[in-house]
């Protein structure tokens, strides 16, 4: 009888585990969504076939199988599996793990050490892995959601191969849901549109898809089928994956900026709304659009800067949600404006010349001479007042004598800069004529 109770208790405990945990793959071949790694010709399968497993960094978003794959690797290679989290572990914990791994190695067995959130370790802690990686005490598998190039030591990266885990696509998530339905012995009470909506809500995260499926089963009543709107009401919508200080933030602002530069108002609006939806500070987006106005449009349309500054002020005045429309208007204006980086390029060239040539004095003829001493030194000699010259243009040289005349600003034949091009060409012609010896 006690055995029966024990079996029932074990079954209840198993059923209490989250669905995502119960459906963990048992072999690498069962892992979905990462064919480039675990498929027949995947990188990891080739390593296992070759009988050689080196240290690796698994980089990818949450819910893509990094922890599961690490566990399965140890099983399929016969390595002892140790797991720690950089959030909860310190130097003392690492020393214990390394010592245990050394003892195993003396007994002829190597250790696969899986370090979750490895980017949370500081630089000194990351350095502590180097000796045990080099002497073969451990095979390190570190998991991170952050860009390893920015978060991990160069010395650590040089000893480990970075493998990228991709977000699950719609087909992969649909496959996970089908497996869940088979394991549960029941279908999800969703119509076709709601099922597609749940897949979108999962946002490439397999664990999230299964968690949402559990919520749907808990909420469903006998005979009930949810449409897309009912699904959103039931699960209260999953927030998009977005960290304002990390890659999600920089990737989306880059996408917005490049869509504006590429004159695609629809893509620009999409990325603007993605960032609004993820909780980005609208004033930050307003400031970024001011930057786009001066960098990518410039004097091709001088109104772009005015409109972006006004939109930022409008948001500051109206607040949310009304103020977002002003920023959307500015975004569309920027994307549809003529483009020029003429001023941006000229500014960088002029700054480079200023740094390279040091403290060259301006020519004396454009210096003021408020004292007799300065007049005696030739300050102001030969200066021609442009307003008294024909066409209000003297054509004098204003650059330092040792530098000579430079050309930094070269406006393209686009937008308002067509007019500026005509003016510069006209002045260049007059300058050449009036400076002939």
Question: Per the structure block, which two tokens stand in for 282?
Answer: 């609208």
DSSP helix/strand/coil, 81: strand
pLDDT of 419 > 90? The answer is yes
pLDDT tens profile 378-409: 888 989 999 999 999 998 998 998 898 999 99
160-186 per-residue burial string, b: 16 or more CB within 10 A, e: under 16:
beebebebbeeebbbebbeebeeeeee
Q: Is residue 257 part of a domain?
A: yes
Read off the pLDDT of each residue in 131-154 and give the average, rounded to a whole number.
91
Q: Looking at the predicted structure, is the pLDDT value of residue 245 above 80?
A: no
In a domain, 28, yes or no: no
User: Torsions phi, psi of 133, nearest 5?
Assistant: -75, -40
Residues 44 and 60 in one domain: yes
pLDDT over threshold 80, residue 436: no
What is the tens place of the pLDDT at every residue in 40-73? 999 999 999 888 889 999 999 888 999 999 999 9
Phi, psi dihedrals of residue 113, rounded to the nearest 5°: -100, 115
Which of 301, 336, 371 represents a domain boundary (last residue)? 336
Query: Which of the listed residues 235, 257, 283 is the one where a domain comes to its end?
Result: 235
Residue 22, in any domain of the structure: no
Residues 260 and 230 in one domain: no
Give me the residues paired with residue 424 across strands.
Answer: none
- What is the C-alpha separation between 339 and 260, in angstroms, rounded? 9
Beta bridge partners of 57: 142, 162
Give the domain CATH number at 54. Answer: 3.40.50.300
Q: What is the average pLDDT across 406-413?
A: 92
Residue at 8 is within a domain: no
What pLDDT, on a 0 to 100 scale, did the predictor assign at position 310? Answer: 96
User: Does 59 lie in the same domain as 154?
Assistant: yes
Supply the pLDDT for residue 238: 58
Whether residue 333 contacts residue 325, with contact meaning beta carbons closer than 8 Å, is answered with no
Share of the chain above pLDDT 90, in %: 62
Question: What Cα–Cα distance (Å) separates residue 35 from each residue in 31, 55, 155, 163?
Answer: 8, 20, 29, 12
Structural domains of the chain, count: 4
pLDDT band at 240 (very low <50, low <70, confident <90, very high): low
Residue range 321-338: average pLDDT? 95
H-helix or E-strand containing 12?
A: helix 2-16
Q: What is the residue range of 369's domain?
A: 362-434
């Amino acid at each position: 009888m006690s055995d029966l109770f024990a079996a029932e208790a074990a079954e209840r405990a198993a059923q209490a585990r989250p669905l995502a945990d119960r459906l963990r793959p048992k072999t690498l071949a069962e892992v979905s969504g990462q064919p480039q790694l675990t498929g027949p010709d995947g990188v990891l399968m080739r390593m296992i076939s070759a009988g050689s497993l080196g240290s690796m960094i698994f980089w990818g978003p949450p819910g893509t199988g990094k922890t599961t794959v690490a566990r399965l690797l140890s099983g399929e290679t016969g390595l002892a599996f140790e797991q720690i989290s950089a959030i909860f572990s310190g130097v003392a914990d690492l020393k214990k793990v390394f010592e245990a791994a050394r003892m195993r190695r003396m007994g002829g067995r190597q250790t696969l050490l899986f370090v979750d959130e490895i980017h949370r370790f500081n630089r000194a802690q990351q350095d502590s892995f180097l000796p045990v990686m080099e002497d073969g005490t451990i095979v390190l598998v570190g998991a991170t959601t952050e860009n390893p190039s920015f978060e991990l030591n160069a010395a650590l990266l040089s000893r480990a191969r970075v493998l990228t885990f991709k977000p699950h696509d719609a087909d992969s998530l649909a496959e996970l849901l089908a497996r869940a339905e088979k394991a549960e012995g029941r279908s999800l009470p969703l119509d076709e549109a709601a099922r597609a909506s749940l897949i979108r809500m999962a946002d490439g995260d397999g664990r999230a898809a299964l968690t949402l499926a559990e919520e749907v089963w808990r909420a469903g009543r006998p005979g009930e089928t949810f449409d897309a709107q009912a699904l959103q009401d039931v699960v209260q919508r999953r927030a998009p994956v977005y960290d304002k200080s990390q890659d999600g933030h920089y990737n989306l602002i880059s996408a917005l900026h490049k869509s504006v530069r590429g004159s695609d108002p629809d893509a620009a609006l999409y990325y603007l709304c993605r960032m609004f939806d993820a909780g980005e500070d609208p004033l930050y987006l307003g400031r970024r659009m001011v930057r786009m106005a001066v960098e990518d449009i410039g004097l091709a349309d001088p109104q772009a800067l005015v409109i972006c500054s006004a939109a930022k002020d409008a948001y500051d005045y109206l607040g949310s949600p009304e103020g977002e429309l002003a920023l959307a208007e500015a975004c569309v204006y920027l994307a549809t404006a003529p483009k020029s980086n003429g001023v941006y390029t000229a500014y960088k060239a002029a700054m480079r010349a200023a740094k390279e040539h040091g403290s060259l004095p301006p020519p004396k003829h454009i210096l003021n001479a408020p004292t007799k001493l300065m007049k005696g030194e030739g300050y102001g000699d030969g200066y021609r007042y442009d307003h008294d010259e024909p066409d209000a243009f003297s054509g004098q040289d204003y650059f330092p004598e040792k530098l000579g005349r430079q050309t930094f600003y070269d406006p393209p034949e686009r937008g308002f800069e067509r007019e500026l091009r005509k003016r510069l060409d006209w002045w260049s012609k007059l300058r050449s004529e009036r400076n002939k010896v």
